[in-house]
């Protein structure tokens, strides 16, 4: 959209965070006629206060503010833009520096767990749920689904959940759902806090703690989904005297080191905040065995750890709707549809799937690839297919709301989770939400034998497992299931039964409730 508004086919895309990692050299090595600051609106985006500095370094003739939410563009000469934006920029940089310093001073306090209180309610009845947001957010994806389904399952078991967030996107998703999982209390991270990710997180923590403190004092526990740079749950637990249950989906330090495309300023603060959050938590909920063991290696007592893999609400799946999706996207009714759903992260293996599909398409004239979602790896994935002249055999559906995912899965004959090994030889620590949704959809699943995926699926019984990162083995797996309707039906039936019996969100929520009740019994 920004390219269309600017009438520019080949823009130089330059993340603001690159200023901390050689960005000045890149700016000075190019001559710019125009600098575009893009956002929804740009004044609200992380790093807007750095825009005048970028303008000074790049020395463009004109500066444009591109508001993709309103499809508006405002252009001014360089000096006029600097004169208008410099006062706010100075204020944002100063406020952000103060917030970072204040958070740093509060970390020793945040690390200390509240004393266990005798007389606490033996059953979990009231829970504060914290979801801090740092940087870009999305209305869809596994994290969104996981968050909402945990809240829904807890509520269905009698727990009153009060959810607080600085993530407006997830609140929009909840509001548009046919059966909203909750009503988020959205608090806004101050614009003055958004110079860099570390300051935005500190600002997010401050407003979340302030908004939730009164409710926390009357709750039984605090639950936070761990987020980089955040110690909101730890601070709220300390101030309210209530136990913190920290949901840990993997090390944010690892994500920063291996998956971020640019270096984040104050990277060392990520590790400091992560250590503080882990130290403050009375119980730590982990989604995989790998994380469970990794935290023990970091010195965390196993009595504080709760192994709690992701799940699925099987009743939402295998209920039809696939025919409508096929007609919507002009996919023939007799096509053999191979589907992938995801945020196209570097660990998802979508380009690997594209390379395997090139051979599958040559062998099966009816084969059609359906890609659902968006993200970093979508463009290189589509490029592989385009170079193989398979444009008419591929449908890119884009982002789809969680409520519509079941019908898209129903449109497929085969569903693929081609995850690849993690960078640096690290063991795969994820618990892919889509794996359980694939199983509940009752379709044949072809997936990498990687971490929890290989533990959940039984080769030849509930899925077809392939060697991670091996395009030839993935091709063989796809051919095997594409070649046999009977095999597809058997794998799909068995997978749905396994998901229904062993991987429900109700079971996930029950383990959280049990974790709270066990810590209360220990304090009695």
Domain count, the chain: 3
Same domain as 292, residue 221? yes
Same domain as 206, residue 169? yes
Is 521 contained in some domain? no
Is 524 contained in some domain? no
Q: What are phi and psi of 458, to 5 degrees?
A: -105, 120
Domain that holds residue 383: 321-503
Q: Tell me, what's the pLDDT at 390?
A: 95
CB 200 within 8 A of CB 227: no
Q: Tell me, what's the pLDDT at 271?
A: 92
Residue 105 burial class via C-beta count within 10 angstroms: exposed 0-12, middle 13-18, buried 19 and up: exposed
CB 230 within 8 A of CB 275: no
Q: CA–CA separation, 453 vs 198, rounded Å?
A: 33
Same domain as 256, residue 358? no
3-state secondary structure 141-188: CHHHHHHHHHHHHHHHCCCEEEEEECCHHHHHHHHHCCCCCCCCEECC
Query: Tokens 């359906």 correspond to what residue?
Result: 370
Domain boundary among 275, 307, 339: 307
Same domain as 182, residue 40? no
Q: Tell me, what's the pLDDT at 28?
A: 59
Q: CA–CA separation, 162 vs 212, rounded Å?
A: 9
Is 520 contained in some domain? no
Same domain as 61, residue 26? yes
Is 255 contained in some domain? yes
Q: CA–CA separation, 403 vs 176, rounded Å?
A: 9
Structure tokens at 25: 């050299």
Kindly provide the residue ranges of all beta strands, DSSP E only, lying in 51-174, ordered along the sequence.
62-67, 72-77, 126-131, 160-165
CB 230 within 8 A of CB 273: yes
Same domain as 129, residue 74? no
**Domain CATH number, residue 465:** 3.40.50.2000
Q: CA–CA separation, 147 vs 311, rounded Å?
A: 11
Same domain as 301, residue 333? no
Same domain as 341, residue 287? no
CB 91 within 8 A of CB 199: no
Q: CA–CA separation, 28 vs 188, rounded Å?
A: 35
Is 511 contained in some domain? no
Q: CA–CA separation, 479 vs 7, rounded Å?
A: 44
Q: CA–CA separation, 57 vs 424, rounded Å?
A: 35
Q: CA–CA separation, 196 vs 46, rounded Å?
A: 6
3-state secondary structure 434-467: HHHHHHHCCCEEEEECCCHHHHHCCECCCEEEEC
Q: CA–CA separation, 296 vs 286, rounded Å?
A: 12
Give the global pTM.
0.88
Domain boundary among 307, 336, 365: 307
Is 100 contained in some domain? no
> pLDDT in tens for each of the 524 residues of the chain?
555 555 665 555 555 544 444 445 555 556 667 888 888 888 888 888 888 888 888 788 888 888 877 888 889 999 999 999 999 999 999 999 999 999 999 999 898 887 666 668 889 999 999 999 987 778 888 899 999 999 999 999 999 999 999 999 999 999 999 899 999 999 999 999 999 999 999 999 999 999 999 999 999 999 999 999 999 999 999 999 999 999 999 888 777 776 665 566 788 899 999 999 999 999 999 999 999 999 999 999 999 999 999 999 999 998 899 999 999 999 999 999 999 999 999 999 999 999 999 999 999 999 999 999 999 899 999 999 999 999 999 999 999 999 999 999 999 999 999 999 987 778 888 889 999 999 999 999 999 999 999 999 999 999 999 999 999 999 999 999 999 999 999 999 999 999 999 999 999 999 999 999 998 887 64
Q: Tell me, what's the pLDDT at 318?
A: 84
Quick one: how far is CA 225 from the chain centroid?
11
Q: Tell me, what's the pLDDT at 417?
A: 98
Same domain as 295, residue 250? yes
Please tell me the total number of residues recorded for the chain in this structure. 524
Helices 433-440 and 142-156 meet at what angle, rounded to 10? 70
Is 116 contained in some domain? no
Q: CA–CA separation, 16 vs 6, rounded Å?
A: 19
CB 134 within 8 A of CB 230: yes
Q: Tell me, what's the pLDDT at 317?
A: 95
Same domain as 416, residue 365? yes
CB 381 within 8 A of CB 395: no
Put residue 144 in one of left, alpha, beta given phi > 0 → left and psi -120 to 50 → alpha.
alpha
Q: CA–CA separation, 36 vs 13, rounded Å?
A: 9
Same domain as 465, residue 357? yes
Is 261 contained in some domain? yes
Q: For residue 217, count other CB atoms closer than 10 A to its CB.
A: 13
Q: What are phi and psi of 175, to 5 degrees?
A: -65, -25
> Is residue 365 helix, strand or coil?
coil
Domain boundary among 247, 279, 307: 307
Q: How far apart, in Å, are the Cα atoms of 404 and each of 172, 176, 231, 318, 431?
A: 15, 11, 34, 12, 21
Same domain as 494, residue 400? yes
């Amino acid at each position: 959209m920004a390219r269309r508004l600017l009438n520019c086919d080949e823009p130089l895309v330059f993340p603001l965070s690159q200023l901390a990692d050689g960005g000045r050299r890149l700016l000075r090595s190019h001559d710019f006629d125009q600098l575009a600051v893009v956002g929804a609106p740009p004044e609200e985006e992380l790093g807007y206060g750095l825009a005048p500095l970028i303008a000074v370094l790049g020395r463009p003739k004109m500066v444009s503010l591109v508001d993709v939410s309103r499809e508006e563009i405002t252009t001014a000469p360089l000096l006029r833009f600097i004169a208008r934006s410099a006062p706010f920029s100075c204020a944002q940089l100063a406020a952000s520096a103060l917030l970072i310093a204040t958070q740093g001073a509060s970390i020793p306090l945040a690390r200390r767990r509240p004393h266990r209180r005798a007389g606490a309610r033996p059953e979990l009845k009231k829970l504060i749920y914290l979801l801090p947001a740092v940087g870009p957010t999305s209305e869809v994806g596994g994290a969104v689904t996981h968050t909402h389904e945990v809240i829904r399952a807890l509520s269905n078991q009698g727990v009153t959940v009060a959810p607080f967030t600085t993530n407006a996107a997830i609140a929009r998703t909840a509001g548009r759902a046919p059966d909203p999982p909750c009503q988020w209390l959205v608090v806004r991270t101050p614009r003055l806090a958004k110079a860099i990710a570390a300051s935005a997180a500190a600002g997010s923590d401050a407003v979340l703690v302030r908004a939730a403190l009164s409710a926390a004092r009357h709750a039984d526990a605090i639950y936070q989904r761990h987020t980089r740079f955040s110690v909101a749950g730890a601070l709220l637990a300390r101030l309210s005297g209530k136990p913190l249950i920290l949901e840990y989906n993997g090390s944010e330090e690892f994500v920063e080191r291996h998956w971020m495309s640019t270096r984040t300023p104050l990277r060392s603060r990520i590790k400091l905040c992560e250590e503080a959050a882990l130290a403050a938590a009375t119980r730590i909920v982990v989604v995989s065995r790998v994380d469970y063991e990794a935290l023990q290696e970091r010195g965390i007592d196993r009595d504080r750890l709760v192994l709690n893999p992701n799940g699925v609400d099987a009743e939402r799946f295998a209920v039809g709707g696939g025919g409508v999706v096929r007609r919507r996207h002009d996919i023939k009714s007799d096509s053999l549809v191979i589907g992938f759903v995801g945020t196209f992260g570097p660990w998802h293996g979508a380009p690997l799937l594209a390379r395997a599909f090139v051979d599958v398409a040559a062998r099966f004239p009816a084969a059609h690839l359906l890609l659902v979602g968006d993200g970093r790896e979508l463009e290189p994935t589509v490029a592989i297919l385009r170079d193989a002249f398979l444009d008419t055999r591929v449908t890119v559906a884009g982002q789809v709301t969680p409520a519509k995912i079941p019908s898209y899965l129903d449109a497929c004959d085969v569903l693929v989770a081609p995850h690849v090994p993690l960078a640096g030889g690290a063991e795969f620590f994820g618990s892919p939400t889509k794996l359980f949704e694939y199983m509940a959809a009752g379709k044949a699943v072809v997936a990498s034998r990687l971490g929890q995926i290989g533990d959940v699926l039984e080769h030849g019984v509930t899925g077809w497992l392939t060697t991670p990162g091996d395009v030839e083995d993935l091709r063989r797996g796809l051919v095997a299931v594409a070649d046999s309707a009977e095999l597809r039906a058997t794998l799909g039936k068995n997978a749905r039964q396994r998901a229904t019996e062993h991987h429900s969100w109700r079971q996930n929520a029950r383990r959280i409730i049990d974790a709270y009740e066990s810590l209360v019994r220990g304090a009695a």
